[in-house]
Amino acid sequence: MSKQAVTVIGLGPMGQAMAAAFLKAGYAVTVWNRTANKADELVAQGAVRAATPAEALAAHELVVLSLTDYDAFYAVLGPATEALAGRVLVNLTSDTPEKARAAAKWAAGHGARHLTGGVQVPPPLIGKEGSQTFYSGPRDVFEAHRATLEVLTGADYRGTDPGLAQVYYQALMALFWSSMTGYLHAAALMRENGISAEEFRPHALKAADVSYFIGVMGEYLDADRHDGGEARMVMNAASADHVVHTLRDAGLDATVPVALAELFHRAVSAGHGEEGFTSLIKVLERPAG
Ligand code: NDP
């Protein structure tokens, strides 16, 4: 059997980790990056450097893309459309679901098939147990290349809509960024009070485990019920103000807590003051009509 082969386009920290994982797994790997010297280490490990995107596409059927955004996807592949026919593009670039859908159509127009991916781990966890990527797009393409994709991370196929992997990915990023920034606001307050991040760690870890709340809220949201009366929205709004005042009293930035307090007060103003925390979704969802 001939050696399995893959092209990797985009060698930021993520693409480099992916190309290295393929090399380690014994694949023949062709790489291309706009800034060519980012391929040097991979070439030293056995990768082949393509001179142009068209050459990289021509090298192998399976092409993994890891770029900053979908504008970069068109900037790289736009001038190389004649080399797209028959390729499988596994696009692990983050962007909006709409852009993923448009890219799948664009690729099909040039004879290529497009799988969208949303990688859920940072580069050091590529090739490690427990890592995961959401995929969506044609199921047969996913199944045909699943084993190869699993060299990188676990593969969680979500469905045929090419936007779906990015819907999951961006939803989780919304959760991730607000949690991580909340942690840094908290750590800044602790530091201001002479408490190190190490000392704070066990308390932060405990508070960051919101699995109980997510478990309970799911039932309420799906039933469109917001009667969680033990944590009324008026109380939540007052509590959010206390966080803002505490940070400001300490001379610290309060950008995210201010935004949260503003949302909570909007929910109260919209008539949800006596309802539970899940009523906040009424302020967040798309207005009717
Ligand atoms: P980077 O933004 O560091 O690098 C991505 C690559 O995009 C680089 O190779 C860069 O080329 C290339 N690029 C950007 N714009 C253009 C352009 N106009 N034309 C040609 N090439 C371009 O990203 P990462 O490697 O960190 O991540 C890649 C993707 O993975 C992103 O979509 C990111 O959101 C996602 N991701 C990243 C994670 C992480 O922790 N890093 C975690 C999970 C997902 P050049 O080297 O020439 O600048």
May I ask the CATH architecture of the domain 5-160? 3-Layer(aba) Sandwich (3.40)
Whether 124 lines ligand 1, by a CB cut-off of 6 Å, is no
Name the residue of 67, 69, 135, 176 whose CB sits within 8 Å of the most ligand 1 atoms, as the mutation to test its pocket: 67
| pLDDT of 2 | 56
Q: Kindly give the distance from the C-alpha atom of residue 15 to the centroid of ligand 1, in angstroms, as a whole number.
A: 8
Cβ atoms of 48 and 74 within 8 Å: the answer is no
Copy the structure tokens of residue 232. 């009324």
Rounded to two decimals, what is the model's pTM?
0.93
Rounded mean pLDDT, 263-270: 97
Cα–Cα distance for residue pair 233/132, rounded to 1 Å: 36
Going by pLDDT thresholds of 50, 70 and 90, the confidence category of residue 23 is: very high
**279, pLDDT greater than 50:** yes
Which atom of ligand 1 is found nearest the CA of 94?
A: 32
The full set of domain ranges for the chain reads 5-160, 168-284
Residue nearest to atom 39 of ligand 1 (CA): 122
Q: What is the mean pLDDT of the chain?
A: 96
Q: Taking 60 as the threshold, does the pLDDT of residue 39 lie above it?
A: yes
Q: For residue 63, give the H/E element and its range.
A: strand 62-65
Write the pLDDT tens digit of every residue in 89-148. 999 999 999 999 999 999 999 999 999 999 999 999 999 999 999 999 999 999 999 999
| Separation CA 186–CA 183 (nearest Å) | 5
Give me the pLDDT at residue 287, please. 85
| CA–CA separation, 205 and 202 (whole Å) | 5
Q: What is the pLDDT of residues 61-87, one digit of tens each?
A: 999 999 999 999 999 999 999 999 999
> Among 16, 52, 68, 133, which is best to mutate for testing ligand 1, by the most ligand atoms less than 8 A from CB?
68
pLDDT digits (tens, 9 = 90+) for 189-214: 999 999 999 999 999 999 999 999 99
CA of 118 to the centre of ligand 1 (A): 13
CATH of 168-284, one of 3.40.50.150, 3.60.21.10, 3.30.360.10, 1.10.1040.10: 1.10.1040.10
Average pLDDT for residues 170-185, to the nearest whole number? Answer: 96
* CA nearest ligand 1 atom 15, residue: 72
Tell me, in angstroms, the distance from the centre of ligand 1 to residue 12's CA.
5
What pLDDT is attached to residue 1?
45
Nearest Cα to 227, choosing from 216, 238, 243, 211?
216
First to last CA, the chain: 58
Return the minimum-mean-pLDDT range out of 22-36, 58-72, 221-235, 273-287.
221-235
- The burial of 88, by beta-carbon neighbours within 10 Å (0-12 exposed, 13-18 middle, 19 or more buried), is given as buried
pLDDT at 27: 98
Q: From the CA of 232, how far away is ligand 1's center (Å)?
A: 43
Pocket probe for ligand 1: among 8, 9, 14, the residue whose CB has the most ligand atoms within 8 Å is: 14
Q: Whose CA is nearest to atom 19 of ligand 1?
A: 72
Dist CA 203 CA 188 (whole Å) = 14
